[in-house]
Structure 1
Amino acid sequence: MTDLIVDLLGWTGSIMLVTAYWLNSKNRISAQTLLYQLLNILGSLLLMTNTIYYGAYPSSSVNIVWLLIGLIHITAILKNRHKTI
Structure 2
Amino acid sequence: MTNWLIEIAGWLGGGLILLGYVLVSSGRLEGRSVAFQLLNLFGSLGFVTNAAWHGAIPPMTLNIIWCLIALWTLATLARRKGRARA
What band does the TM-score fall into relative to the shorter chain? over 0.9
Deviation for aligned residue 1:77 = 0.5
Question: What pairs up with 1:21-32 in 2 under 5 angstroms?
Answer: 21-32=21-32
Question: What pairs up with 1:35-46 in 2 under 5 angstroms?
Answer: 35-46=35-46
- What's the secondary structure of 2:65's corresponding residue? helix
Aligned to 2:71: 71
Deviation for aligned residue 1:65 = 0.9
Aligned to 2:13: 13
Unaligned runs of 5+ in 2: none
Deviation for aligned residue 1:36 = 0.3
Letter in 1 for 2:11: W
Question: CA-atom RMSD, angstroms?
Answer: 0.7
Q: C-alpha separation between the residues in 1 aligned to 2:2 and 2:55?
A: 15
Runs of 4+ deviating beyond 2 Å = none
Deviation for aligned residue 1:83 = 1.2
